[in-house]
Amino acid sequence: MLDFLIKNFGNQLVKISKFKFMLDIKALNIALETIEQEKKIPHERVIDAVERSLAAAYQKEYGKKGQLIRCHINFDTGETAFEQIKIVVDETTVRMGSDEDDEEEALVEDNPEEVLVLPKYNEEKHILLSSAKLLKKNVELGDEISFNLENKSDFGRIAAQTAKQVVVQKIREAENESIAGEFEAREGSIISGIVQRAERGNIFVDLGRTTAILPFEEQIRNEKFRPGQRIKAYLYSIEEGPRGLSIRLSRSHPKFLIELFKAESSEIADGTVEIITVAREPGSRSKIAVKSNDPRIDPIGACVGQRGVRVNSIKNELNGENIDIIKWSDDDKENIAASLSPAKVHSIEIDEEEKKAKVTVSLEEQSLAIGRGGQNVRLAAKLTGWKIDVAGEEGDLIVETDEEGVINGDVLENETEDGDENKVENHTDSAEADNSEDENAENLEENKEESAENEEKVDSEEEIIEE
């Protein structure tokens, strides 16, 4: 409806009589209601756009250089009135024109930063204070004086096309402002939308009034989307670019995890339980540290829910991402020990100046403390902000990390942070290698058996020949 209305905007609203140009008020009101309902744009904005567009059309056809023209629509009759606006000035606010002034103005344009001059007097947009007082006694400098202009009888056909172009532009500008205002209020929260398409790894998501982008780097690893699928994402950026509004979403952002917990847990939503810090490797594993502002509320229980229903719901939303929840403490040693769960720590030595901790674990707990590819200790370092070194009971250093979770050492060996994807590929490759080795072994055995049979045949033939 709205696209059709805009396409035929000029023709629908314009009525041309023998002597004057008029607007079809009934058609205009229908247009205003449709635009307000479908585009959420106040009708006042559209009226302003119509009046500005008609003024621009009149200026283009009949105006003179420098003129300021305004249009007013009478919503009782549909008639339009045009007026020229002049600003009240005197010798202190403008330069009176001359040929020398033209030369000086040209010099100013060449060196605008070096010379500061008053604007040149233009009789089409300025009126001297002395002349203005003859028309209006209480007029002051800077006031506007309006002069009625003739309503041209042939203006209708010209106005139709011009009005359409300018109104469409104004509607788009107003719509962009309206959309920006709506989504700026939702920045930093979770929104849902429908997957439209994928381009170069980026997912385009229909949000209703506009389309957002879920960039490839903001997606969870190995996650697949299909057109028409409804997804949730974290709105982290709204920018006005040369191509219009750019709304960017994320499913890998740490705050996406926080917002999901807020949606699942009323205790987190109302601030009874706080998520202090988050460390996340999207799609694989996360750790969150929580504390309760009410001694009667268990912060971990508030996150997990009965029978794990809350945390499992979040885990499913995050493509099976495992989530470790620890209770935050004001004691650094307790936080570091808890961050390495499920491993049990034997002892901790901390260096406050270096913000470094040496954690001792038993041989049985080493693999749990470090994690696959160093993931557990890496997330623990990110969560606590401490450099964490893991050592055996005899004091031998096994792995070192910095506060960002970067691991120093050979703990990763052939594993990489690409994690499960590479591991699946490696597992497949090794399985294929095992199968090929089995096949080779079977073939070798068969070859051996065939060789033995051939040798027996040769021996028997030699015996027959000898006989």
pLDDT of residue 388: 93
Give the pLDDT confidence of 379-417 residue by residue, as tens digits.
999 999 999 999 998 878 888 888 777 776 555 443 433
Reduce the secondary structure of 326-373 to three states and give it as a string.
EECCCCHHHHHHHHCCCCCCCEEEEECCCCEEEEECCHHHHHHHHCHH
Question: Between residues 240 and 148, which one has the greater pLDDT?
Answer: 148
Query: Coil, helix or strand for 387?
Result: strand
Please tell me which residue, 183 or 243, carries the higher pLDDT value. 183
- Residue 176 pLDDT class (50, 70, 90 cuts): confident
Residues 6+ apart with CB under 8 A from 412: 373, 374
Cβ 192 vs Cβ 231: under 8 Å: yes
Q: What is the pLDDT of residue 119?
A: 86
Q: What is the pLDDT of residue 411?
A: 54
Residue 311 one-letter amino acid: V
342 preceded by cis ω (within 30°)? yes
**Six token digits for residue 198:** 């994928």
- Give the type of residue at 354: E
pLDDT(276) > 90: yes
β strands within 140-257, DSSP E: 144-148, 190-199, 202-206, 211-214, 230-241, 244-250
Q: Does 77 have pLDDT greater than 70?
A: yes
Q: Is the pLDDT of residue 316 over 90?
A: yes
Query: Among 141, 21, 106, which Cα is nearest to 71's?
Result: 21
What pLDDT, on a 0 to 100 scale, did the predictor assign at position 30?
A: 77
SS3 at position 270: coil
Give the residue from 200, 342, 337, 247 showing the smallest Cα distance to 285.
342
Q: What is the pLDDT of residues 85-123, one digit of tens each?
A: 999 999 889 888 655 555 555 545 555 554 557 888 888
Q: Which distant-in-sequence residues (6+ apart) come within 8 Å of 41 by Cβ?
A: 35, 171, 174, 175, 178
Question: What pLDDT score does 192 carry?
Answer: 96
For the stretch 344-375, pLDDT in tens is: 999 999 999 989 999 999 999 999 999 998 99
Rounded (5°) CA angle 194-195-197? 145
Rounded mean pLDDT, 199-204: 94
The pLDDT value given to residue 34: 76
**Per-residue pLDDT, 232:** 96
- The model carries a pTM of 0.63
Q: Give 222's contacts (C-beta < 8 A, 6+ positions apart).
A: 283, 319, 420, 421
Strand duo 322-327 + 285-292: pairing: parallel
Rounded to the nearest integer, the mean pLDDT of the chain is: 79
- Predicted local confidence at residue 422, as pLDDT: 34
Does residue 445 have a pLDDT over 80?
no
CB–CB of 41/178 below 8 Å?
yes
Phi, psi angle pair for 455, to nearest 5°? -60, -40
Helix (H, G, I), strand (E, B) or coil at 423: helix
Residues linked to residue 244 through DSSP beta bridges, in sequence order: 241
String of DSSP letters for 107-145: HHHHSTTT---PPBP-TTTEEEHHHHHHH-TT--TT-EE
Least confident of 91-105, 254-268, 306-320: 91-105
Model pLDDT for residues 18-69, shown as the tens digit of each residue: 445 566 667 777 777 777 777 777 778 778 877 888 888 888 888 888 889 9
* Predicted local confidence at residue 258, as pLDDT: 97
Q: Which strands, in side-by-side order, build the sheet including 322-327?
A: 273-281, 285-292, 322-327
- Please check whether residue 178 is in contact with residue 108, taking contact to mean a CB–CB distance below 8 angstroms: no
- DSSP label of 201: T
Which three-class secondary structure state does DSSP give residue 305?
coil
Q: Which two tokens stand for residue 330?
A: 């004001």
Check residue 245 and give left, alpha or beta (phi > 0: left; psi -120 to 50: alpha). beta
What kind and span of H or E run contains 459? helix 420-466
pLDDT reported for residue 420: 37
Q: Determine the pLDDT at residue 111.
A: 54
- The whole-number pLDDT of residue 98 equals 59
Cβ neighbors of 111 (< 8 A, separation 6 or more) are none
Across 9-13, 239-243, 459-463, least confident range: 459-463
Residues paired with 322 in a beta bridge: 285
Q: Tell me the per-residue pLDDT of 409-431, one tens digit each, with 9 for 90 and over.
A: 555 443 433 333 333 333 333 33
User: What is the DSSP secondary structure assignment for residue 306, as one 8-state letter?
Assistant: G
**pLDDT tens-place string over residues 138-162:** 999 999 999 998 877 667 666 666 6
Q: Which two tokens stand for residue 415?
A: 């594993």
Q: What is the dihedral of CA 211, 215, 220, 221, to 10 degrees?
A: 140
Asked if 227 and 196 touch (Cβ cutoff 8 Å), the reply is: yes
